[in-house]
Amino acid sequence: MRKWHNARGEGKVFSFDVVDEHQGEIRLTCFNQVAEKFEPMVQVGGVYVISKGSLKPKRKEFNNTNSDYEISLELSSVVEECSEEVDIPRVIYQFSKVRDLQEMDFGSVMDICGIPETIGEAAVIMRRDGTETQKRTMTVVDDSGCSVEVTAWGTIGAETIPQLEQMFQQGLRPVVAFKGLRLGNFGGRSLSTISSSQINIDPEVPEAAAVRNWYAQGGAQNKTSLTTAYGGRADKKCTFGMLKDEQSSGSLPGTLFLQVTGTISFIRSDSGVMYPACPRMNGERACNKKMRQEGQDEKWYCEKCQSESPTVDWRYIFSILAMDHTSACWLSLFNEAGESIFGMTANQLKDLQDNNTLEYERVVSAANFKTFHFKVRVAEDTYNDERPALMRCGALSALP
């Protein structure tokens, strides 16, 4: 179960995929109270009788099962453990070859069967909401003669990856089946787990035997990597085209810091480029929360500090459309970035706005078509399985 939150509110969502004796697949999804009711009841590998759900067309961008529909569970729905012995497969795979990833659309979800050749150290990534999540990165090769970087996020692979590490220490290279990976575009082609992904060691499927025999005969010696050294790691350079492809693919479960060189093509200034910030000091740091004027004397009031002030500290906050030779992206900018763009503090620019409108408009307009190195923080929000990427520029520098 995971949480979602955005401007419309917040809640919880729980989804799971089931297969039947005819090898059909379908996804079941529930929200909030329904999610809290059924999440403790459902275990991977369990067999259940499910009834009183609502059938609706699936959203293909988020659902890679072989059914055209999905089931929505309600509080009145029934999920009961099946006591009868039934012959139902645990997992149904639809394997793609690593080589074929070159022809697939970014954001596609697929299964692969290959042999991990490297396993990276665990890294802790800070999410937008302040919580932490873990990622593990592997390089996986299959009998198409190509390798790709696979990143497992959160608890996905929490049991299997330590098992793989132990097998590596023993000199073993097991075959691994990955169920439900999303294709991304950082550093060429790369794959990431999603909430429904599975990682299984030495699966009993024909494809595993074929990969094992190919590897044992030295097939991986002349492999081609589909993932460059970029690999989606933090603080690496990329283009806006790469950034936009990854944004649309929805494969950013954590927070990334990237460097992009681009030109400002438009500054959104219709609602202003600054806000009145609270100057009250909390220890060594200013509060900086937005203040509002109220009362007949129009004093400034901060809800966080529960205090009034006759003055405010103006700080930058605005959006720009930045572009390079590949694409354009909207970026949210804050105080330090604004000072670099306009060449003055927000207090100074506010003084121009109040006393010299023509000069204010000239300064804002002159910032267009300047080129900078942008350090972009990319994070995600989540709502009903939609994961829009939020891109914020924390710092920038002008080209030398």
SS (H, E, C) 39-86: HHHCCCCCCEEEECCEEEECCCCCCCCCCCEEEECCCCCEEEECCCCC
pLDDT of residue 247: 56
pLDDT of residue 306: 87
Tokens representing residue 294 in the block: 């109220």
For 351-363, give the secondary structure using H, E and C. HHHHHCHHHHHHH
Domain-ending residue, one of 14, 48, 81: 81
| 89: in domain | no
- 93-112 burial, b at 16+ Cβ within 10 Å, e below that, comes to bebbbbbebeeeebbbbbbb
| 306: in domain | yes
pLDDT of residue 209: 96
| 231: in domain | no
Q: Domain check: are 283 and 183 in the same one?
A: no
Q: What is the DSSP letter of 370?
A: -
Question: Which of 26, 24, 181, 172 minimizes the C-alpha distance to 112?
Answer: 181
pLDDT of residue 397: 62
Q: Domain check: are 211 and 136 in the same one?
A: yes
CA distances to 304, 323, 342, 379, 399 from 260, in Å: 35, 10, 19, 16, 12
The helix/strand/coil state of 274 is strand
Q: What is the CATH number of the domain that holds 369?
A: 2.40.50.140
Reported for 283-291, long-range contacts at CB under 8 A and 24+ positions apart, including other chains, are 286/313, 288/313, 288/315
Task: Give the whole-angstrom CA distance, residue 163 versus residue 319.
Answer: 46
Task: Give the whole-angstrom CA distance, residue 201 versus residue 178.
Answer: 9
Tokens representing residue 112 in the block: 């692969």
pLDDT of residue 96: 95
Q: Domain check: are 209 and 113 in the same one?
A: yes
| 53: in domain | yes
Q: Domain check: are 205 and 250 in the same one?
A: no
Q: Domain check: are 15 and 43 in the same one?
A: yes
Q: Domain check: are 269 and 324 in the same one?
A: yes
Residues 6+ positions from 243 with CB-CB distance below 8 Å = 258, 260, 327, 329, 376, 378, 391
Q: What is the DSSP letter of 53?
A: P
| 10-residue stretch averages of pLDDT, the chain, 400 residues long | 73 89 87 93 89 89 80 94 79 92 85 94 67 84 94 87 91 94 77 88 94 93 71 58 61 62 91 91 84 81 88 92 89 90 94 94 94 79 42 61
Find the domain containing 306 and state its range.
278-312
Q: Domain check: are 51 and 164 in the same one?
A: no
| 92: in domain | no
Q: Domain check: are 216 and 259 in the same one?
A: no
Q: Domain check: are 179 and 256 in the same one?
A: no
Task: Give the whole-angstrom CA distance, residue 267 versus residue 362.
Answer: 13
Q: Domain check: are 188 and 269 in the same one?
A: no
pLDDT of residue 315: 94
| 93: in domain | no
pLDDT of residue 381: 45
**CA contacts within 13 A on the Cβ side of 343:** 11
Q: Domain check: are 347 and 390 in the same one?
A: yes
Which residue's entry shows tokens 């009868």?
84
State CA 143 to chain mean position distance.
29
Our count of domains for the chain comes to: 4
Task: Give the whole-angstrom CA distance, residue 184 versus residue 252.
Answer: 9
Q: What is the DSSP letter of 120?
A: P
Q: Domain check: are 62 and 109 in the same one?
A: no
pLDDT of residue 309: 86
CB-neighbour burial class of residue 134 (10 A; exposed 0-12, middle 13-18, buried 19+)? middle
pLDDT of residue 253: 46
pTM for the structure as a whole: 0.55
Tokens representing residue 107 in the block: 């954001």
